[in-house]
Amino acid sequence: MPSSSSSSRSKPKASEVAAETRRTCIPLIRANYSHIYRLDSTLYPQPVDQLDFSQYPRPFSRTPAIYVRNGDPVKVALEWQAHFAAQSGEPVPVPFICAANDKRPGGDWETGVIGYEERLCRRSTLSASLSTPSPESYCQTNYPIPIEGGILSEEVVVFRGPHDRYEKLPPQEWRVLPVCSVPPVRWPKLTQNGTKYSFAEERDMVKNKLRAALRICVYNNYANIVVGDFGLGNGYRNPPQELAELWREVVLWDADLRGRIQSIAFVFEDPNQSTARLIQDDLAKKSRHGSKSKSKSGSSSSSSSSSSSSSSSSSNSSPSSSPSSNKPTDMEIYSYIFHDEEIQRVLTQPDPRYGLGTLMSPM
């Protein structure tokens, strides 16, 4: 069994890793490798409205291959790059769509915050790229990111391993990938059962964010794309099934994307994460608080009656009896939504929400 000192050495403090990245690693790459790697980025303020695809070919006649996997999304993207490069004999960049902080580059990556963007900034040049608008963009800053905007960092250098150890890699093992940074909707208003967005306007905003991310990738000629748990988990709490259905709707039916995406992978670091469970637990907690408030306001009732009512309420909302314990994981939901049979069902039975213009647009 390893000693506690050896265990602590294998898991460095996130803040210490961030400090070394900012003070040493990024300056080193700027000084010695700027002729090889670009450490800048391009802001797309309104990619849904501003990007013109009329001159872009549609090289793919079939529906995109869609995968749902467990793993580190950046590792999967880098593995895909190597796979496609081996097949084609030339570099094939695979972008990673990353949930981004809309206010500052990398969010709170220099502290111990454990969001994926923060962790990626500690092991790569992402923070430097996000902080540096490309000369072609004519922007002094990329922040704040517009509501339906995104940032593309074309060459993010990954010089450390995953966050479990943040292991330093020698320069010959550094890898480069594009990162498309888009801020998800955070804690949207949901229906009473927590499974759908309450407001059509918010749902449309979420859909446009997904469209924005994919359009930025396709506009820059990326045909194979990796997505992490975008908009999910405790930090965002979007309803997972409806979010997955929105991804499917955009990938299959967006007129500007069809025929231009070869494959897309949804990669989950934690296969046990269940945003549906988090949402239901929060609803149950609010319900319990509401019951207590009503009990206090009805203090004219006898103490024995109140005690009995309180006991019954507590029993009915106990964690062991809560339906949230049976909620599926995010990965299970996405595996179902993107199962081949489910994709075929959707393709043969178009949802009536899809407009005639979308359905009839040429490939």
Tens digits of residue pLDDT in 265-311? 999 999 999 999 999 999 998 877 666 655 555 554 444 444 333 33
pLDDT of residue 63: 95
Total number of domains constituting the chain? 1
Establish if 174 belongs to a structural domain: yes
Lowest mean pLDDT among 39-43, 136-140, 207-211, 351-355: 351-355
Establish if 19 belongs to a structural domain: no
Question: How much of the chain exceeds pLDDT 90, in percent?
Answer: 78
- 212 and 148 Cβ atoms separated by less than 8 Å: yes
Establish if 32 belongs to a structural domain: no
User: What does the alpha-carbon distance between residue 250 and residue 53 come to, in Å, rounded to a whole number?
Assistant: 16
How confident is the model over 231-259, as pLDDT tens digits?
999 999 999 999 999 999 999 999 999 99
CA–CA distances in Å: residue 38 to residues 42, 135, 222: 11, 11, 17
Owning domain of residue 124: 37-185+202-230+240-269+337-360
Establish if 173 belongs to a structural domain: yes
Establish if 128 belongs to a structural domain: yes
On the question of pLDDT at 212 being above 70, the answer is: yes
Establish if 316 belongs to a structural domain: no
Q: Which CATH number belongs to the domain containing residue 173 in this structure?
A: 3.40.220.10
Establish if 310 belongs to a structural domain: no
pLDDT of residue 288: 77
Run of H or E residues at 237: none
Instruction: Kindly indicate the confidence band of residue 325, based on its pLDDT and cuts at 50, 70 and 90.
Output: confident
User: What does the alpha-carbon distance between residue 271 and residue 296 come to, in Å, rounded to a whole number?
Assistant: 41
pTM of the model: 0.86
Establish if 248 belongs to a structural domain: yes
